[in-house]
């Protein structure tokens, strides 16, 4: 009895597309912008021919909007889960990396050396995130055994969970790409959980990558 989980990163917000890039954890709760709405629609269009039994999402607006685009063709509303909300980035919320490096050089250095154990200043480290999201995903896989579900989450949430499934050292999760609107395909059968596809963007037209 195989369970399929489509793990999706939400569509883009203005913070995601800002240059320099602006950190957006759980304290900045932005709606999708026009690009993000188009990405969400593309995900929904791609998955509308797949049988989905349920759609879950983080409580943040960008995830909810994306999940609604996925769930709507199937005739139901997504269920929101607090435990898969994005990483708490603490005092670095809304800042860019260059500004962080200038203002908090030591904390910046430690985070870059090992984000698994060194937190965003005043927030979570990757280990903290994995500790809360791994049980949430395990619960969903057990609850929906034999079914197909979609989960809309976030960059760090997806990175740490996919790193966990791949058996990578958690500090290396920072190098895993999770584009806005991407889909990861996870299959579970009994105790075996396999990441089959990571950061797939084939459903997105080139201008939305």
Show which residues are catalytic: 10, 86
CA quadruple 147, 12, 156, 131: dihedral positive or negative? negative
Cα–Cα distance for residue pair 190/6, rounded to 1 Å: 18
């Amino acid at each position: 009895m195989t369970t399929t989980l489509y793990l999706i990163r939400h569509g883009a917000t203005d913070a995601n597309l800002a240059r320099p890039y602006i950190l957006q954890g759980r304290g900045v709760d932005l709606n999708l912008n026009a690009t993000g709405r188009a990405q969400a629609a593309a995900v929904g269009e791609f998955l509308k021919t797949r049988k989905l039994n349920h759609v879950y999402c983080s409580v943040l607006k960008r995830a909810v909007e994306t999940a609604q685009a996925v769930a709507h063709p199937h005739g139901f509303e997504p269920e929101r889960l607090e435990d898969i909300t994005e990483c708490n980035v603490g005092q670095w919320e809304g800042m860019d990396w260059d500004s962080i490096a200038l203002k908090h050089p030591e904390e910046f250095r430690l985070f870059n050396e090992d984000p698994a154990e060194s937190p965003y200043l005043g927030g979570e480290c990757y280990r903290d995130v994995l500790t809360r999201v791994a049980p949430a995903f395990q619960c969903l896989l057990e609850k929906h055994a034999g079914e197909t579900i979609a989960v809309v989450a976030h960059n760090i949430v997806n990175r740490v969970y996919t790193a966990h499934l791949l058996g990578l050292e958690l500090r290396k999760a920072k190098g895993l790409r999770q584009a806005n609107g991407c889909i990861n395909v996870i299959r579970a059968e009994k105790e075996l959980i396999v990441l089959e596809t990571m950061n797939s963007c084939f459903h997105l037209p080139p201008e939305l990558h």
